[in-house]
Chains A and B, each alone.
Chain A
């Protein structure tokens, strides 16, 4: 690749000639800001983080910097470029980027890929279009204004002559790159792909079985490995006794690997254990089952879910640490109130359990290393490998495969570090595959939470005081041991920024130690806050003898915009709007069949506004979910059908939390192990799911992948109350005999 044109500070893209006869354009996008940050022209090495490659044959390849885990990002980002470029979708293809800082922030989490990258992608497409137009106008000897781009051609508006994009590539690469301030983006009404229904660009690979996920990577003479890890988190190997493992046909070697402890504040390290190296996955699994290991269980062996929950519940009876965001005087409000309500809610540990288990293929070659893995955060993986194995960063290559689901589990690099450690030991390529039991028993768990809420109603039945005391082990404990209190960023996920307009708020946080690795799972702490708050408001409504819908709308208060530091201010009107729309869709207030009930929940997360109404039926003390209506306002919608698919999926994911999700520990070891005891929503459990997407194309896009999850469990439980009069304050429903 040779640089054929200099970039001034004012240009958005850089152009490179390609040996293959096309041109490639790159632009620089800062990770979390919408602002385009051009790289300096005097730098010899240009590091754009997004590429568009246009070939002479008209084919356009976009390099996707974010990982594809089912959220449709490869399609979404490509469509934004294609729209502004006036490209024919059939000519677009997407290639996955390796992990490299030149691509900007690649960490695929927090529902932010579209939020942060839509505008740069659009600018990229618009710039390329301008260059193609400029090239065509030169050829025709007319002004640029007399040319238009249409479906992969530039048309001369004077005589309707057309030139194919591919035929302009060479000339386009030589024209002056337009200045950033001259880039004109399309008007919403002219969008061709943005805001429409576009199918996944990877559909055929998904239905033919040709999409390559982590485990599908094969290297000649590659070995397969399974690792036995201590049942208790951070326990270690005391001794490996003689066993039959080595006699299993296909088993090569048994290797002990020690835990790698991450430095404070970053990385994930790995648990360590005993690895069985074999010629195929099955032999490795069999070998692992036949190992006889004596473990030093370590400090976490005292972890028992029942006693832990009791301890936390007890703690919540006393005052916790006061959390910033509290205001007014709750004590006075309680004293002067007509009614007081108290409730304690509990959500157990949960695990992501993506359909594709953690796995990674690594080839350590002394002073360099290449890995192939389904990872959400390839740059951290790369840095972590360089750190632990003493390699120069540039000598570590992280290839990102398709992810068979991620949900936050694949943000963590531990399984890749294991593969590298083993490749180093055996001096050749190796694929580490976790069994499903490994996945469920050794995860970075979604934190277990207990919340105590106390509220007061005044004479008019208005909420006058709100005390919210929460205790849950912090994600920070995985990066900084002994972090026993929830952090500010966690409490900012729905606790201290609840949307209600109440005069007196008090937020408290109680101690909660971590005995397992804590991580983030789809919608993270919003799962706790969404459940506790929506359940409690429903209880307040019942106490006030008011319709929950009216009560919620009233409690949301006057229409107001809270600016904060974010570029996405909170707007209470948008939250009311989604609630009204979901309620209307559900026929809220209509007469329901005997034994049926409707429940509602609203939640604001990842800057998006979501409301869900659930209809349940109760028969012989068993609950069936009949209908789910969700409405979302996520600002500008990039791909409507994809948003719909995400919200449908979020409803099913939320149902798994409400109905079945529960991870428990006994003597430090996780008790669940596979889909027979960690149950999932299946097709027979799945109700009608109706999604409404608010038309709000004028507003900046906000999150989609996660915001649909937190509302589901509380809406289900509120519907159960409506149908049966039974309050559900502890999940999952299956434990209460309701499923």
Chain B
């Protein structure tokens, strides 16, 4: 039995040490918002935060995350909620499949840099592929989320 803490909740699961976190989350725990895209840390569809750090869950064995705090798209944080609102305002998604990962990567960015530049965004978001090509909207939405947050702090 292994104990995983996801979005503040504990889950006890039966799985091998080397199983990637992605499949434990999706197939065993049943949280399907985190997506499989490549299995090779290339596309970012499976992005999650582990102790606040952006990671590709397809390439992280569950043995590594035991005792750590896992955050997925099913979770909620201040930055993620601003991002969600900005995503809605900018009508960002097309097929939507990669957007869980995009939002998690953007959350990680805003958690670290309060007001990212275009270059910061390019660097932080280029690990996430969107085949529909919503990049320009994602970039705008990240700036928008910063604006929403600043207005909220006023």
Contacts and interface: CB of A to CB of B under 8 A. Distances in A.
Interface of A: 68-72, 197, 199-200, 202-213, 215-216, 218, 224, 249-250, 280-282, 285, 353-357, 402-407, 433, 435-436, 641-642, 645-646, 648-653, 674-676, 680-684, 686, 688-689
A436 B129 CA distance: 13
A684 B122 contact: yes
Interface in B112-154: 121-123, 125-126, 128-139
Contact of A209 (B22, B42, B74, B132): B74
Nearest to A652: B133
B39 A285 contact: yes
A5 B119 CA distance: 63
B102 to A, nearest CB: 9
Contacts of B95: 68-70, 354-356, 402-406
A406 B95 CA distance: 9
A384 to B, nearest CB: 24
Contacts of A653: 131-133
B45 interface: yes
B131 A353 contact: yes
A213 to B, nearest CB: 6
A555 B38 CA distance: 46
Contact of B129 (A207, A675, A688, A689): A675
Nearest to A354: B131
A71 B95 CA distance: 7
B94 interface: yes
A406 B32 CA distance: 20
Most chain-B CB neighbours within 10 Å: which of A70, A208, A403, A683? A683
A684 B126 CA distance: 6
B36 to A, nearest CB: 7
A405 B122 contact: no
A683 B97 contact: no
A71 B131 CA distance: 12
A199 B27 contact: no
B42 A674 contact: yes
Nearest to B19: A282
A224 B36 CA distance: 14
A70 B93 CA distance: 8
A405 B32 CA distance: 17
Given A355-B45, A404-B96, A683-B125, 5 more contacts: A209-B73, A209-B100, A213-B35, A652-B133, A675-B37
Contacts of A281: 23, 26-27, 36
B39 to A, nearest CB: 6
B135 A686 contact: yes
8 closest A-B pairs by CB: A209-B33, A652-B133, A404-B97, A70-B95, A70-B94, A206-B96, A209-B73, A649-B133
A680 B131 contact: yes
A680 B26 contact: no
B97 A405 contact: yes
A433 to B, nearest CB: 7
Contacts, number: 178
Contacts of A212: 32
B90 to A, nearest CB: 9
Contact of A676 (B40, B131, B136): B40
24 contacts: A70-B95, A199-B91, A203-B87, A203-B93, A204-B88, A208-B33, A208-B74, A212-B32, A215-B35, A216-B32, A218-B30, A280-B15, A282-B20, A355-B131, A355-B132, A406-B95, A433-B36, A649-B132, A652-B130, A674-B40, A680-B129, A683-B121, A683-B122, A686-B135
A403 B37 CA distance: 13
A321 to B, nearest CB: 36
Nearest to B30: A218
B39 A686 contact: no
Nearest to A648: B136
A210 B137 CA distance: 21
B27 A645 contact: no
Contacts of A200: 91, 93
B129 A206 contact: no
A128 B30 CA distance: 41
A265 B36 CA distance: 34
B98 interface: yes
B93 A650 contact: no
A403 B95 CA distance: 7
A207 B99 contact: yes
Contacts of A436: 37-40, 43
B79 interface: no
B93 A683 contact: no
A271 to B, nearest CB: 20
Nearest to B103: A207
A249 B73 CA distance: 29
A215 B36 contact: yes
B93 A405 contact: no
A405 B132 contact: yes
B73 to A, nearest CB: 4
A403 B93 CA distance: 13
Given A208-B74, A281-B36, A645 B122 contact: no
Contacts of B131: 353-355, 405, 407, 653, 680
B136 to A, nearest CB: 5
Nearest to B139: A683
A406 B97 CA distance: 11
Contacts of A648: 133-134, 136-137
Among B36, B40, B74, the one with the most A-chain Cβ atoms within 10 Å of its Cβ is B36
Given A355-B95, A402-B96, A681 B40 contact: no
Contacts of A641: 91
Contacts of A681: 133, 135
Interface string B60-91: 00000000000011100000000010011001
A75 to B, nearest CB: 10
A282 B35 contact: no
A71 B93 CA distance: 10
A295 B28 CA distance: 34
Given A282-B19, A653-B131, A207 B42 contact: no
A205 B96 contact: yes
B94 A356 contact: no
